[in-house]
Structure 1
C-alpha cells in the first residue's frame, strides 16, 4: 500500500472513531447541527473550549466579540470589511476603485407614459405584457390601439389588419389577413386567413385625462 492510501485510511479510521464525526450520512445535516448546538451550549456552561472552526461555520460568530460599535445607528461596513482584517478598511479607497459610467448619473425621465408615441412595437408590447397594473401598460394599450392594433380578450393576443389586403368587416366578425404579436418569438406573425369575432375584440382603452396626449 502506498503512502497516500495509507494516510487516507488512517484519516478515515480516526474520523470514524470520533463520536462527533464520521463518514456516514447520519453525521451530516440537521441532526449534526443539533448535536453541535448542544455541544456548544455545554461548553458555555462548563467553561470548556469548543472547536472554533466548527463553532464559527455551524453556529456563526457573535458580533460582540469583534470590537464593533453596535450601540449607534452608523453603518458597520466602514468598520468591518472582513472578520479576518486586522485594520478597518479604507472606505474612500474602496469607493474610488469602482468606476461608474456617466450614463448612470442621468436621471430617468418623469411621466414615462408621455413618451409612448416614440416607442417601437417591441417596447410597447413589453410595457403591455411586462408591466401589469402599471400606468405604462394602459398607455401602451392606448398607443397600440391608435396604431390600429386590436386586443383579442380570449387569446390575449394583439392583432393588426393587413394594410395591403384589408379584411372583410361584417357586422359580427372580421375575416381576412391579420398580423399578430407572437409573445413566444417576440416578433410579428402573419395569418393569411382567419376570423375574428368583433365582440371578442377589446375597444379603445379609457385613458385618464392626465395621460391623454395632445395630437
Structure 2
C-alpha cells in the first residue's frame, strides 16, 4: 500500500504525525516540541497526538527512557502500527486511564517499586529529582510457565532500558525456600515494612563503587 503524504490535510493529526516521523524525522533521530509545532502550525496539542502513537506500538523516548536526551528532546526509536491504514487506528485496550494510574500509584505508596524513591526526591549524589510513571512488569509464573503483565510504579531512572525486563516468580520462591532461619526472618521484616534499611557498611560499599580506581585504592589502604 502506498504511504500517503504527511501534509495531506484530509488525514487526522495523529496519522499525519506518524507519517511526519517516518518521512521527515526518521527512526533513531531526535526532534523537539518546537519541531512538532513548526510542522503543524495552528494545530493545538499536536505534540499530544505524537504521544498518542505510543498506544499503537510506536517507541518515542524522552529523557525518562534515554538519559542522553535533553529535557525538551524526544527520539523516534521505532515505528509501530501504520495508523494511516484503514482499521489500524482503533484504540487498543492496553492504554492506561488516569484512574488506573492513580490507583497504581496509591497502591505502591507513591514510591518506585524498584528503588523505593518518591516523586520529587533527589537521587543520591546528584541534583536530579525523581519522577514516577507506570511501568508494565512481566512476571513468569512458576506453575504453568506462563507470563502475566502487572502494573507497577517506577521512577525515571529505573525505567531507563528496563522496558523488556521480566522477573521469574518461581526463581524468587525457590530462593526463599533456600534461606536459613535468620535470613528468612530478616527478609520477612523487610517485606512487612515494605522497606529495607541499609547498614553503614552497605551505604559505604555503594559509595565506594562510584569512586575511580585511584580513590578506591585509598579506601582499601584505610581498611588494611
Q: TM above 0.5, one fold?
A: no
TM-score range, shorter chain: under 0.3
TM-score where L is the length of structure 2: 0.18
TM-score where L is the length of structure 1: 0.19
| Larger relative contact order (Cα-Cα within 8 Å, sequence gap ≥ 6) | 2
